[in-house]
Structure 1
C-alpha cells in the first residue's frame, strides 16, 4: 500500500472482484431467473472423496498470489513498481474476463452442506455458488504462478529462484486439486478454467502446458484409485481440447467464451 502504482492496481483489482464476482453473484440471487444457471456436475466427481480438511488450501488462493507479489517487491524494490503493478492489474482483469461468461450463463454444482468447520460456514454463508465455469480459483493461482515465472525470466533470475517457481507451481496444483476435494467444483470446471487462461494469454499458458498440468493434478492425492485418476485426467484433457478446437474452427473471430457457453447450454438448467 506504500507504493502508489501498486496501491492503485490493488484497488482496481479489488473493485473488479467486488463487481464481477461478488456483486454479479448477489445480483443474480436477487434477480432470480435473469441469468440462466446450469448444473455442471460430472459422474466422475463421485470418484473424488470429500476431504473437508483441504478447505484451508482452498481458501488460500487470494493470499497465494499476494505473497508472490510481496516477494517480488521485497526482492526488486521500487524500481520494479510499474512491472509489479502490471502483475496485480492482470490478476484483477481475470475477474472481468471470466465474468464475460458469467454474465450470459451461471453454473453450479452439488456440494455437501458441511457445517462442522467454521470456514465451511463462511463459504456457505457468503458464496452463492453460481460461478463454477470457468473456475476463478484455478485461473487465479495458475496465472499467478506463470506471471511470477515470466517476471523472473525477464529479469534473468529464473534459475536463481527455481525453488520459488516450483513452490508456486506446487501451490497452484494443490489449490486446483482442493476445489475438487471440498466439492466446490466439478471436474468440468478445471479444463474450462485452463481453456479460459489460454484465451486470456496464450503466451503464458499454452495447450501443452495445460495438458502437463492436468497430468500432474491428482498424481499425489490419496483416496482416488489409479483407474479413476486416469479417467479423470483423460476426460479433462479431452474437454480442454474440445473447447480449444471449437474456438479455432470458427470461421470468424469468435467470442472466446462461446465454447463454454455452448457447453453450459447443453447441461441441465436449474434456474
Structure 2
C-alpha cells in the first residue's frame, strides 16, 4: 500500500493531502491572547511548558510516545548496537573535498545543540497562544510529522549507515558531543531535515490558522534564519558533509510535498554561508553549487521512483569518499 506522499496530487491536492496529520481543528484564540504573545520572539519562549504539558495531555501523549519510540529504536539504539558490533549494517564515509573549505569551528556547538529546542520553543508558543486544549492539537500534528521524518530516515540508515571524518576534539563540549554520538547516520542529515521541516510546517500553520501578518513576518523569518544557522553548523563542526545536506532536502521534498518544495530547498541552499566571514565567496559558490547539483540529481533520478531512497542508494554505491586533512585517524 502506498503512503500518502507517494500518491500526492501536486495539481489538485485534496484537503486530506494538504493536512495529512491534522486530527481535529483548533479554535481561533481571542484577540487578547494573540496580542499578548505577538511581540515575543520564538527564542524567548521557554521549552519547559512543553515539557510539562505535552507528555501528560491526552491529545499529545500518544504522538509523543510514538516519536520517542522511533528516536530511541530508529536512531540511537541502531548506532550504539553497531558501535559494539551487535549490528552489522555497512558503514560508508561520505566526505567531500569541499568539506575542508569550511573551517572546523567548535564555537558553533551551542547553535548545533539548539537543534532540539528550535522545534520545542514553537510548541510552547502554540500552547500559550491557543491555550492547552486547542494548541495541543497543533503540537500533536507536529509530532506526527517529525515521527514520519525519523521513520523515513531510518529506512535509509538500516540499509547503509554513513559517517564522516571528524577532527580531534579541542573543547570539552566537543568531547561530550563525540562521546554520546556514534556518528553513523549522516545521509540523510536529520539536523537538516528537521530544521527545514520546522520552518515549512509553521509556514503552513501560520497560514491555515490565520496568524496575523505581524506574527507571520516575525516568526517565519526567525525560524528560517535559525534553520540556516543550524544548517551551517553541521559543516562547521564536521558532523556532516556537504553531501549529507542534499540528501536530507531531497527526502523532505519527497515525504512532505505538501510542506516542502524544490523551491524551498533551493532557497535554503542559496542562503547557506551567505554572511559567513570565514568562508570565501568562491568557496561559498562551490559549496552551494555542489549541494544544488546533488539535490537536483536526486530529484531528477527519483522522479519516476516510488521509493525516494533509490537514487540516494545508487549514489552511495558509486561514491568514492575524500579523506580530509583533519581526519583523526
Contact 2:298–2:311, Cα closer than 8 Å, also in 1: yes
Alignment of 1:46-65 (within 5 A): 46-65=100-119
Alignment of 1:41-190 (within 5 A): 41-77=95-131, 78-116=133-171, 118-157=172-211, 159-161=213-215, 162-190=217-245
Q: Aligned equivalents of 1:59 and 1:140: distance in 2?
A: 13
Q: Which runs of 5+ in 1 are unaligned?
A: none
Task: Please state how far the C-alpha of 1:115 moved relative to its aligned partner.
Answer: 4.0
Contact 1:38–1:265, Cα closer than 8 Å, also in 2: no
Q: Aligned equivalents of 2:212 and 2:150: distance in 1?
A: 28
Task: Select the structure that is richer in helix.
Answer: 1
Structure number, greater radius of gyration:
2
Structure 1 counterpart SS, 2:162: strand
Task: Please state how far the C-alpha of 1:36 moved relative to its aligned partner.
Answer: 1.2
**What is the alpha-carbon root mean square deviation over aligned residues?**
1.7
Alignment of 1:172-211 (within 5 A): 172-211=227-266
Structure 1 counterpart SS, 2:147: helix
Q: Aligned equivalents of 1:233 and 1:192: distance in 2?
A: 14
Residue by residue over 1:196-223, the C-alpha shift from the partner in whole angstroms, topping out at 9 and shown as x without a partner, is 1101111211111111110111101121
Structure 2 counterpart SS, 1:107: strand
Flag the structure with more relative contact order, 1 or 2, with Cα contacts below 8 A and sequence separation at least 6: 1
Distance change (3 Å), C-alpha of 1:18 and 1:158: farther
Q: Aligned equivalents of 2:65 and 2:313: distance in 1?
A: 30
Structure 2 counterpart SS, 1:38: strand
Structure 2 counterpart SS, 1:187: coil
Residue by residue over 1:99-129, the C-alpha shift from the partner in whole angstroms, topping out at 9 and shown as x without a partner, is 010000010111112142x321221111111
Q: Which runs of 5+ in 2 are unaligned?
A: 1-52, 324-329
Task: Please state how far the C-alpha of 1:159 moved relative to its aligned partner.
Answer: 1.6
Q: Aligned equivalents of 1:18 and 1:39: distance in 2?
A: 23
Task: Please state how far the C-alpha of 1:80 moved relative to its aligned partner.
Answer: 3.4
Q: Aligned equivalents of 2:312 and 2:294: distance in 1?
A: 10
Task: Please state how far the C-alpha of 1:143 moved relative to its aligned partner.
Answer: 0.5
Distance change (3 Å), C-alpha of 1:110 and 1:152: same
Q: TM-score, normalised by structure 1?
A: 0.93
After the TM superposition, which of the residue ranges 156-165 and 65-74 deviates more from structure 2?
156-165
Q: 1:30 aligned to 2:61?
A: no
Residue by residue over 1:43-93, the C-alpha shift from the partner in whole angstroms, topping out at 9 and shown as x without a partner, is 011111111100010111111101111111111111232232111121122
Q: How many residues align?
A: 266
Q: Which runs of 4+ in 1 moved over 4 A?
A: none
Structure 2 counterpart SS, 1:160: helix
Task: Please state how far the C-alpha of 1:224 moved relative to its aligned partner.
Answer: 0.8
1:263 aligned to which of 292, 315, 322: 315
